Amino acid sequence: MTIATDLGARPSRPLPFWPMVWAAALAAVMVLALLGDRFPALIDYPAAAVVPLTDWVSAIMAWLKANITWLTRSITAILGVPLDFALSLFAKNFKIGAGPEAIVLPRLSWVGIVVAAFLAGRAFGGWKLGALVGGCFLYIALFGKWTSAMLTLGLISIAVPFCIVTGLLIGIWAWRKPWAEKLIVSPSLDLMQTIPTFAYLIPMLILFGNSPVSAMIATAIFAMPPMVRATMLGLSRVPSEIGDFSEMAGCTARQKLWRVLLPSARPTLMVGVNQVIMLALNMVIIASMIGAGGLGYDVLLALRALKVGEAMEAGLAIVALAIALDRLSQAMARRQARGHVHGDAEAGPFWKRYPNLSLALVVLAATTIAGLFIPAFADVPKAITMTTAPAWKAGVSWITINLFDVIEAVRVALILYVLNPVRAFCEGFPWLGAVFLLGLAAFQLGGARLAILVAALTAYCAVTGLWEKTMATVYLVGISAFISCLIGIPIGLWASRSDRVEKIVTPIIDTLQVLPSFCFIIPVVMLFRVGDVTAMIATVAFAVVPAIRYTNHGLRQVPPALMEAAVVSGCTKRQTFFRVQLPLALPEIMLGINQTILMALSMIIICAMIGTRDLGQEVFIALSKADAGRGIVAGLAIAFIGIIADRLFGAWTAKARGKLG
Amino acid sequence: MSMSSRFSRVRRGALAIAAAAWCIGGVAQAAAPESNDPIKIALFDWTSVNLNAKILGGILEKLGYTVEYPTADYLSSLTTGLTNGDLAVAMEFWDTTAGEAMKASDATGQTENLGPLGPKAKEEWWYPLYMKDKCPGLPNWEALKDPKCAEAFSTPETAPNGRYVGGPVTWEGYDDERVVSLGLPFTVIHAGTDAAMFAELDSAYQRQAPIMLWVYSPHWAPAKYKGEWVQFPEYSAECYNDPKVGVNPDAKYDCGKPHGDIWKYAWGGMKEKWPVAHKVAKAYTIDTDVLNAMSGQIDLDGKAPEDVAAEWIAANEATWKKWAE
């Protein structure tokens, strides 16, 4: 709060208005807290006045279940057709008929897919990319995760195009109709990105059934927003001259959009596509809980049996898949951005125009047919697979036996002197005071409308009877985000000043981002026991990524000319950094902090698996009790915390940007 | 992998349909499958349930049915997938952890309880044997009332109370209540999942460090780690419902945890759609020791569940053929 005060006060220095307002406000809240002994309703929202939103949502769900299941089930059936096809093609074989006399057409051979992946990489990024992409697929095959990885890939291969098409259409609609963007699309995107997926798994199960299709829809809900945002951004960024020119050339509105504007926006759109792929891979574990199977299920199963090594291997297979798809789609984006070279590609027969594609098709067909006769082509032979699982297990055991006492001392100190006091402070914070203070901050940063939004969202958490759990969430997220920034910003700074450090840091944070948090949460429990410290460490490991990334990026993109100007005008190194580089990079760094908070919030659910007592646990309990209302109400509270943080930070960043001019 | 073994078998079928025909002639003594729609047997996230699913599925495939194994969530499947036929059968619902969920499922009237699986579920406070040196009165629960004994189980943030790692809050364990009603100087820490719980056990066991936690059976843990269950006063329904019953006249839950059965559940429509498969699923039982041994083969020796299931099916052909008659 004090930081906000300083920053906001600066533009209006002559009037010490805001500091005085804040002093008065804090004093008022203090009085409120002291009065709490006599009027407990001021601290904890009175139970009698809780709005039974949970029951309402459950009632709506029951109605939906009875009345629109026929519709949702037909959607399942329709979407199931391409999905089944993809799953059969990659993983399951085609089966025509039933029982032992069924005719079976084999799935694609693993050899063929590895070669095709290599060729795709080569086509878009040369030998080096080809080797990387092919190598990732080979890695998956050699570590015995082939069938699971192909189930995951099959799901992704349908979910991603689905997200892209739907996202594109929604984005265009929102771009054309500003009212739709403001009233419908923007708020929905915010909710889709902040509501934990667990919260809507039960409605998914009820409406779309326990099948890969529900998993796909859940994945789509989570992964689509970047595509919509990229479409809106890309279209609005197309220079108006291009649009004008197309009109002059006599394009109809439709031609203008599809032939001119969208192709011009392609680089931004491809960034969206890349994000969709990454987010879809983030969902594989959760999708496996409602019928997707695949790598996510392998991770869950291995962890239930405490097979740390196997879980790690399955997790790394997800990372390999992510790296392959990420690099490939980025290379495609760059290729598209450079544009087509017309002429040479237009002439000649198909195989001459697309040599890589043709070769890939031939290899796929040949190896798949060969698989009918040579089993080694159909399934990865067990003899060539390997495992590193024992090494992982031995590593964790070694640390457990040798370092536990040191770790235990750190853990106890953290719990007793940091976590418990902060927790007590948060949980004792009066709800009325929080509504008031956050509203005031919003008013200072963004005006009356923001203030009303923030105060209303805060009040929601209290009115639904979730105040204590909300504050427990704020405590864990706040402290984890703070520590993430404490670690991440210096690392980002270091990386920005040395290319070598950046080269080392980048693959590590890429892995941290894609590796399912489940994989490392159990080893952390072995070292840090069940409790808040474990939850905090797991959260920090995930949330530190944007802090590093944005700091590095922000500092690096300061124009060199400005730095040179500073040096020329006689600044010391120190002055150049603190007076020029840092202020210019500040908006970007703040965006990183904002993202860190949102990432920490998204880990709340996963931390519920190690026994926290916050909103995440509430959603988790709702999931196992199949209580749709309870899950959605708590999920919304989590989403609102995220939206409040996002809006306040956004307003603050905008102010800081405005000051920079 | 589940898929590969099934597929290699099927692929052979595709290549030599004659061989497949022989297969039908050899095995199927029941009527041809009433419906070729796949029977969906739920997989959850622990070993024994998946093994049972694979055994039942293997039997049904031998009888000519098409079987699929979708992954599902344990408790919520009772009121979602099993009520509408997304799942046809699920093999393990424990009295001890799914009591409320099963009641809710029965209330929908759209599921069918197929009877007990066979093994008895047992769960209770559990400690590794090496802790007996520090607390000699064990396994009698009254030993835990001794402050010295409780302290042996403590960590700095719970001291002087002992630390007890309980299951997820959804597991109906009533440990918070038990600690109060029996006057035990212990602090209950809820693990969010049993994976987290057993991770703590594994870590503590390697270091021979103090630990008291909730362990259940059938499970690989009591087979892998040497330890004992605390002997609390015997459970009774009255003890949970009536304060007067039990050691403490003023409190409920002043006794141990219930033992119970493990139940199989089916979608209500299964009986009409696949009568023979329904009969097999209903008759399906398995011996506790056999199940523990087979779970051990998977979890400790690293065998694939499909292979273990296939061995059982081959060895017990007479048994399951009788179920289908």
How many residues make up chain B in this entry? 325
* Phi-psi sector, B248: left (phi>0), alpha (psi -120 to 50), beta: beta
B250 within a domain of the structure (yes/no): no
Looking at residue A7, what is its pLDDT? 45
Q: Give CA–CA dist A64/A79, Å, rounded.
A: 20
B251 within a domain of the structure (yes/no): no
Q: Give CA–CA dist A390/A79, Å, rounded.
A: 41
| Angle, CA of A433, A434 and A435, to the nearest 5° | 90
Which residues are CB-contacts of A139 (< 8 A; sequence separation ≥ 6)?
Answer: A317, A320
Give me the CATH number covering residue B55: 3.40.190.10
Least confident interval from A434-438, A441-445, B288-292: B288-292
Give residue for tokens 């948090």: A517
Residue-by-residue DSSP string for B59-117: HHHHTT--EE--B--HHHHTTTHHHHTSSSEEEEEEHHHHHHHHHHHHHHTSEEEEEEE
Looking at residue A578, what is its pLDDT? 85
| pLDDT confidence bin for A14, thresholds 50/70/90 | low
Q: Give CA–CA dist A118/A297, Å, rounded.
A: 27
| Rounded average pLDDT over B82-91 | 90
Instruction: For residue B232, count other CB atoms closer than 10 A to its CB.
Output: 22
Give residue for tokens 């695949």: A294
Q: Is residue B148 located within the same domain as residue B64?
A: no
Looking at residue B251, what is its pLDDT? 84
Q: Tell which residue, A166, A158, A168, A290, has the closest CA to residue A218.
A: A290
Asked whether the beta carbons of B271 and B39 are under 8 A apart, the reply is no
Q: Is residue B140 located within the same domain as residue B234?
A: yes
| pLDDT confidence bin for B12, thresholds 50/70/90 | very low
Q: Give CA–CA dist A186/A205, Å, rounded.
A: 26
3-state SS assignment for residue B273: helix
Q: Is residue B158 located within the same domain as residue B94?
A: no
In chain B, how many domains are there? Answer: 2
Give me the CATH number covering residue B130: 3.40.190.100
Report the gap between the CA of B311 and the closest CA in chain A (Å): 20
3-state SS assignment for residue B166: strand
Q: What type of residue is A299?
A: V
Q: Which residues of A touch B46 (CB under 8 A)?
A: 304-305
CA torsion angle A107 A111 A113 A114 (round to 10): 160
Q: Kind of pairing, strands B227-229 and B89-94?
A: unpaired
Token representation of residue B67: 């079987």
| pLDDT confidence bin for A337, thresholds 50/70/90 | low
Range of the domain at B294: 2-110+268-324
Q: Give CA–CA dist A406/B143, Å, rounded.
A: 31
| Rounded average pLDDT over A470-481 | 92
Q: What type of residue is A601?
A: L
Highest mean pLDDT among A231-240, B66-75, B265-274: B265-274
Report the gap between the CA of B77 and the closest CA in chain A (Å): 8
Picking from A98, A306, A620, the nearest residue to B36 by CB comes out as A98
Q: Is residue B102 located within the same domain as residue B178?
A: no
Q: Is residue B132 located within the same domain as residue B103?
A: no
Its pTM stands at 0.82
Two domains, one topology: A150-338 and A466-661 = yes
ipTM of the modeled complex: 0.74
B261 within a domain of the structure (yes/no): no
* Phi-psi sector, A447: left (phi>0), alpha (psi -120 to 50), beta: left
User: pLDDT digit string (tens) for A489-527?
Assistant: 999 999 988 889 989 998 888 888 888 877 878 888 888
The percentage of chain A sitting over the pLDDT mark of 70, rounded to a whole number, equals: 94
| pLDDT confidence bin for B31, thresholds 50/70/90 | low
Superfamily, domain A466-661 = MetI-like (1.10.3720.10)
Token representation of residue A144: 């015995």
| pLDDT confidence bin for A98, thresholds 50/70/90 | low
Highest mean pLDDT among A199-208, A303-312, A545-554, B30-39: A545-554
Asked whether the beta carbons of A521 and A512 are under 8 A apart, the reply is no
At B278, give phi and psi (nearest 5°).
-60, -40
Has residue B128 got a pLDDT over 90?
yes
| Rounded average pLDDT over A136-145 | 90
Q: What type of residue is B87?
A: L
Mean pLDDT of chain B: 83
Q: Is residue B127 located within the same domain as residue B235?
A: yes
Architecture of domain A150-338: Orthogonal Bundle (1.10)
User: Taking CB atoms and an 8 Å limit, are B14 and A103 in contact across chains?
Assistant: yes
Give the DSSP H/E element, type plus range, for residue B188.
strand B186-190
Q: How remote is the C-alpha of A326 from its chain's centroid?
A: 14
Q: Which residues of A touch B10 (CB under 8 A)?
A: 93, 95, 102, 104
Has residue B18 got a pLDDT over 60?
no
Q: Give CA–CA dist B129/A557, Å, rounded.
A: 61
Report the gap between the CA of B249 and the closest CA in chain A (Å): 31
Q: Is residue B75 located within the same domain as residue B162?
A: no
Q: Which class for A125: exposed (0-12), middle (13-18), buried (19 or more C-beta within 10 A)?
A: buried
User: Given B241, B258, B286, which residue is the final one in a domain?
Assistant: B241
Q: Which residues of A touch B74 (CB under 8 A)?
A: 624
Q: Give CA–CA dist B190/A609, Å, rounded.
A: 10
Report the gap between the CA of B223 and the closest CA in chain A (Å): 13
Looking at residue B10, what is its pLDDT? 45
User: Taking CB atoms and an 8 Å limit, are A290 and B73 in contact across chains?
Assistant: yes
Q: Tell which residue, B103, B88, B42, has the closest CA to residue B280.
A: B88
Least confident interval from A470-479, B231-240, B268-277: B231-240
Q: Is residue B61 located within the same domain as residue B34?
A: yes
Q: Kind of pairing, strands B186-190 and B162-166?
A: parallel
| Rounded average pLDDT over B128-144 | 88
Q: Is residue B96 located within the same domain as residue B125?
A: no
User: pLDDT digit string (tens) for A600-647?
Assistant: 998 888 888 887 888 988 888 888 777 888 889 999 999 999 999 988
B249 within a domain of the structure (yes/no): no
Looking at residue A460, what is its pLDDT? 92
Q: Give CA–CA dist B84/B104, Å, rounded.
A: 15
Q: Tell which residue, A501, A513, A514, has the closest CA to residue A552.
A: A501
Domain limits, chain A = 150-338, 466-661
Q: What type of residue is A68?
A: I
CA-based nearest residue in chain B for residue A535: B192
Q: Which residues of A touch B20 (CB under 8 A)?
A: 100-101
Asked whether the beta carbons of B105 and B79 are under 8 A apart, the reply is yes
| Rounded average pLDDT over A262-278 | 84
Mutate to test the interface with B, among A398, A530, A603 (most CBs of B within 10 A): A530
Looking at residue A571, what is its pLDDT? 86
Picking from A297, A530, A624, the nearest residue to B191 by CB comes out as A530
Q: Give CA–CA dist A490/A485, Å, rounded.
A: 8
Q: A61-83 b/e with 16+ CB inside 10 Å = b?
A: beebbeeebeebbeebeebbeeb
Least confident interval from A114-128, A133-147, A279-293, B155-169: A279-293
User: pLDDT digit string (tens) for B218-264?
Assistant: 787 887 888 999 999 888 888 888 888 878 888 888 888 888 889 99
Mean pLDDT of chain A: 84
B178 within a domain of the structure (yes/no): yes
Q: Is residue B83 located within the same domain as residue B7?
A: yes
B18 within a domain of the structure (yes/no): yes
B255 within a domain of the structure (yes/no): no
